[in-house]
Amino acid sequence: MADKKNQEERLEMVMNQLGESVLGQSDAAILAETSEAGVDPQVEAEQTRLVLRQAAKLFNDVNTRLSSLGHVIDPNDWRRGQRGYHTTCLTCGSFASFTATTGEMRGDALDGMCVQRDQYAMSRREGSR
């Protein structure tokens, strides 16, 4: 298990380094390299935009669904794991995860209302006294 974790950490490090190397290149260098590879830069750019839009929409959908079920999460506290991204409800501790590549959403937080949501809630009538 430790070997698999080390392998994943190495892969993440390589991916980060590749991303940083791309960010360090000029637009002209990227276009030249893409054209040399026989790839249409416009098609590649649109495919990349589509993937990023889909991931952003899924992230928004998961957060909206959790909120509608009364769960309180920190949208900046999604952590990357072996099978996508995961977080927990700050109120009840229920788990939620999603996988950007497949669009799959899982976890007990997505299955029902937050069991602790009413514990701190106060009706308008009680609050106005």
Question: Which tokens in the block code for residue 9?
Answer: 């950490």
pLDDT level of residue 124 (50, 70, 90 thresholds): very low
Q: What is the pTM of this model?
A: 0.66
Q: What pLDDT does 83 receive?
A: 83
State mean pLDDT over 88-116: 93
Q: Crossing angle for the helix pair 41-68 and 27-36, nearest 10 degrees? A: 110
What is the rounded average pLDDT for all residues in the chain? 83
The DSSP secondary structure of 61-78, one letter per residue, reads HHHHHHHHTT----TT--
pLDDT at 1 over 70: no
pLDDT at 88 over 90: yes
Contact (Cβ atoms closer than 8 angstroms) between residue 67 and residue 113 = no
Q: What pLDDT does 58 receive?
A: 93
Most trustworthy range by pLDDT among 20-24, 76-80, 88-92? 88-92
Amino acid present at 16: N
Residues 110 and 129: their CA atoms lie apart, in Å, by 35
- Give the H or E element holding residue 11: helix 2-23
